[in-house]
Amino acid sequence: MDAQSVESGRTATKPADPTKSGFTFAGWFSDSALTSAFSFSTAITKDITLYAKWIDASVPTYTVTFSVDGGSEIDAQTVAEGEAASKPTDPTKSGHEFAGWFSDSGLSAAFDFATKITKNTTIYAKWTAVYSIEISDTIENGTVTAKVGGVAATSAKAGDTVTLTATPEGTARLKSLKIDETENVSSVTTGTREFTFTMPAANVTVTAEFGWIGTKATPDAVGDIVFNDGSAEAYSASLALTTEQKTAAVAVIFYAGSESDMLGARTLGVGLVHQATGLDWATSVADGSKSTVGNDGTSCTPTPSGNITAANAENVTAFSGTVDGSGNWGRLAAAVSDEDTSGRYPAWDWVNSYKDKAGSQVTDTDYESDWYMPSLAELTMLLRARTDVNNSLAALGKAQFTTASNPGFWSSSQTDGYNNANSVVWFGTNGCGTTYRNATGNSWSAGWGVCAIRAF
């Protein structure tokens, strides 16, 4: 019998039954031991050899027929009396899962392929309907996969537990996930998430939206409102924030510069709440309030030198000394011995516990930590950006940096020549100046306000 050339994935053509003198042809098998009957509905993916089975013509034979109920065709088998039929390759049927062979059309008695054949026999295929799990091909910025029983699946039986895994790309977050338009997730969720549902007796379509709370993946401009997923929204006079955006906001950007700018290539934001007045930088008994503390390495001097006012803040061209205030608490702690004594550094205590402040909105987010008291340079940049920052704070319904009563805000920068004094920036008309860290015994008053900033 001639060999056939079959394109990969297609089926071989069943040839005419061969003949052999004194024997009855009993079908084609895929193994030389003649234990596995071959089905000509099998897709060919490699070179194969089929083997003819022969039964002595003197032996009675019977026909075993496979009723597939619309499934892929299974060739009938010729079986010698008293022998067992060979279990064929499982048939397939669109939209169904093969559930075994049965000896009756009512599908109540499973067929045992060890059964000795003594008459013509029909065996019936049982099918269980399966339904498709279609993952929408319009999903962007993330992926959704489905599994049944821990195995990747594109279909499932009614009643199966289906597990969906939603994985965002980069800094994106899962914003919504729907199964046939039924919402399973309706708020931004960080990281990879898993969801389960019971497969209905119907096809389902899964859709998902990955993205950010804001329209910007990251903040990059003064006035940007930063959300707890790392995204941002630019302020405009027509900006209408959603309730979700208002509750997810964590900061407003007051500086976004490049290497050539005053503070270098950094993006800095101020927290949504600040203490406008009433805080000493240090109490009278704190080491940090004494002139003996020495130079703690936090000083920061503007060019041109002198007081910085709201009117001339734009004229400052540079700062010398410690411009980045993020390490100033550590520098102070290295110069004193009582930084861990509760209550001795009220302004710092406020900043260091910023996540616990009512309205900060950073608890249980990625932005709980790394808040610090700004240096003089950073506070000056905040003064410059005050109008833009206030616009964004107003859009969020938060207190603004007012000019009323000339409020002063502590910086973390020690004043040159005053080991027990720090620079304060007044957001009213007086600009910045030197104020003792504690007023006791000094002619200048203390008890100013403080704000918290961090890098983004």
pLDDT in tens, 84-126: 999 998 999 999 999 999 999 999 999 999 999 999 999 999 9
Facing residues of 435 across strands? 422
Residues 358-407 pLDDT 10s = 999 999 999 999 999 999 999 999 999 999 999 999 999 999 998 776 67
Q: H helices of 307-447, where?
A: 328-335, 346-352, 376-384, 386-396
- The values of phi and psi at residue 43, to 5°, are -70, 135
| CA dist., res. 55 & res. 349, Å (int) | 95
Helix (H/G/I), strand (E/B), else coil: 213: coil
Residues 251-300 pLDDT 10s = 999 999 999 999 999 999 999 999 977 888 888 888 888 766 667 889 89
| CA dist., res. 17 & res. 286, Å (int) | 104
| CA dist., res. 13 & res. 5, Å (int) | 10
DSSP label at 18? P
Token pair listed for 51: 């083997």
> Is the bond preceding 91 in cis, omega lying within 30 degrees of 0?
no
Which residues are within 8 A (CB) of 105 and not within 5 positions of it... i.e. 6 or more apart? 67, 124
Threshold 0.75, pTM exceeds: no
| CA dist., res. 180 & res. 342, Å (int) | 56
Above 90 in pLDDT, residue 188?
no
Query: Which helix (H) or strand (E) is 251 found in, with range?
Result: strand 249-256
Token pair listed for 160: 């199966």
Residue-level pLDDT at 441: 40
- Helix (H) and strand (E) counts in the chain: 5, 26
